[in-house]
A and B are shown apart, each in its own frame.
Chain A
């Protein structure tokens, strides 16, 4: 589902965000990405969501070669990659419902279908009762769940999460991870960047470790998936 072949990302000024990274993630896998701050986790996720383009090497997602994807195709690619951020990136002047509905509105769905899918997604993350609230009235954990609902509402085959539990206490973090496992159960491919090693060590999932922009460890072989 996600293929990196000798991918290097060099920023203007010479700093390398990623150096010669190669790995494959199969459809339906749930993979963690970890490493120190600045090791390249965010860069890697940005390459998949086409927020950045690689300097060298090839990135393929769901069979598409992102290196060759034109600017006009980027939006359609992003519709198939749900993205979750540490800072949620919600719109604070819109209700929970409207925030979650955005990917469907963008994709041009009818409003009945939008209502149905948004409520299903909110129900999944346990926030159906708060659909009319504004994000500021929600707790951090709840806001994160709204962000997750928005990422999965259009049923993208790939979901990326960048430090989704960064600001949450261990219990809430555990809850969020449970949600991710549920999505994984229905076939969604997940790539989750986190530095919460304590949390993921109990989950028996494949872990990619980045160190100084290089892939330092990939426990695919040991994975009990």
Chain B
């Protein structure tokens, strides 16, 4: 145990006389003491926590939803495929060689060839015009190549560039990319993403204000204690510390409750979403908050709480001076 020197010790800055382990111990004590203080007033702590939780659950829930929608759009990337209608002169053999050539292109994941005969068979089968088709002297249908762009080319601009390149082939009569809905979808998710960012910023700001206001009230309630602590030589850092820990705890608890709220909401949505996906023959399932996102959520909320209380303490602590 360190023997504190008596009179000399106050002359030198006490910070330098505090060993790291003593310092850490003191922080741990303050952290636990401020936690204990929060637990002793469970109702008001719970209310503040829930308000912060709701404010954080909204953007994180929407963010999660957006992620899910985007992963859903990943399932649909096939729909962004390019149809290449070949010229009438192109034989099935030439079409097959073009298909294998394109297959080697790194920008392309898969090429499916529907030869002229195959196309005619399919049309005959599905259209119900079998009699009419049989009366034709030659096959009016061209060969068709269905090109699926590689995943990184699935977004509109790259897919369009690929389309332009494919049009250059002499065998290609007509190339078509149904981009309209892909474009719209990307535009909508972009707006949604912006919306989530704006909402998250506003609600993050509201968390700062909530914590700041809670800490301000706390400072008012402990006016006498702060005054006396200043009288007996408590530094501002010493007085500030429990309030900062308070804010950090509020933030952490708020983050945890946001996580729980989002988790429960997902549980409630999971079953109906699965049923809906089943109706579309899709194996799509909602994905929840992963570990990294959880860490970011909790770290961010703790930081918000800390900053909120820092602002409140900075503004109000110096107003209290012993007289």
CA A72 – CA B4 in complex, angstroms? 22
Name B1-32 residues within 8 Å CB distance of A: 1-2, 4, 6-7, 9-10, 13-14, 17-18, 22, 26
Q: Are B14 and A107 in contact (CB under 8 A)?
A: yes
Q: Which of B227, B233, B323 contacts A106 (CB 8 A)?
A: B233
B238 within 8 A of A: yes
Q: Are A150 and B232 in contact (CB under 8 A)?
A: yes
A4 to chain B, nearest CB (A): 20
B292 within 8 A of A: no
B321 to chain A, nearest CB (A): 8
B167 within 8 A of A: no
Q: Which of A75, A102, A112 contacts B1 (CB 8 A)?
A: A112
CA A141 – CA B228 in complex, angstroms? 20
> Which of A14-22, A77-85, A189-197, A211-219 forms part of the interface with chain B?
A77-85
Once A80-B10, A107-B14, A155-B6 are accepted as A-B contacts, the answer to whether A113 and B1 lie under 8 Å apart by CB is: yes
Q: Are A108 and B18 in contact (CB under 8 A)?
A: yes
CA A108 – CA B5 in complex, angstroms? 12
Q: Are B322 and A51 in contact (CB under 8 A)?
A: yes
CA A76 – CA B236 in complex, angstroms? 11
* A interface, size bucket: 20 to 34
Of listed B1, B26, B231, residue having the most chain A CB within 10 A: B231
CA A108 – CA B13 in complex, angstroms? 12
A168 within 8 A of B: no
A10 to chain B, nearest CB (A): 16
B195 within 8 A of A: no
Q: Which of A75, A91, A157 contacts B7 (CB 8 A)?
A: A157
CA A109 – CA B323 in complex, angstroms? 27
A110 within 8 A of B: yes
B1 to chain A, nearest CB (A): 6
- Which A residues touch B236, using CB under 8 A? 75
- Which A residues touch B321, using CB under 8 A? 51
- Which B residues touch A113, using CB under 8 A? 1, 4
Q: Are B26 and A103 in contact (CB under 8 A)?
A: no
Write the chain A residue with the least CB distance to B228: A89
Having A76-B235, A89-B224, A106-B238, one finds 18 other A-B pairs with CB under 8 Å, namely: A75-B236, A75-B238, A76-B13, A78-B231, A83-B231, A83-B232, A102-B228, A102-B229, A102-B232, A106-B232, A106-B234, A107-B9, A108-B14, A108-B17, A110-B1, A110-B2, A110-B22, A113-B1
Closest 4 pairs (CB-CB, A-B): A79-B233, A78-B233, A106-B234, A103-B232
12 A-B residue pairs with Cβ-Cβ distance under 8 Å, sorted by A, are: A51-B323, A75-B236, A79-B232, A79-B233, A89-B224, A91-B225, A102-B229, A103-B233, A106-B234, A108-B26, A110-B4, A112-B1
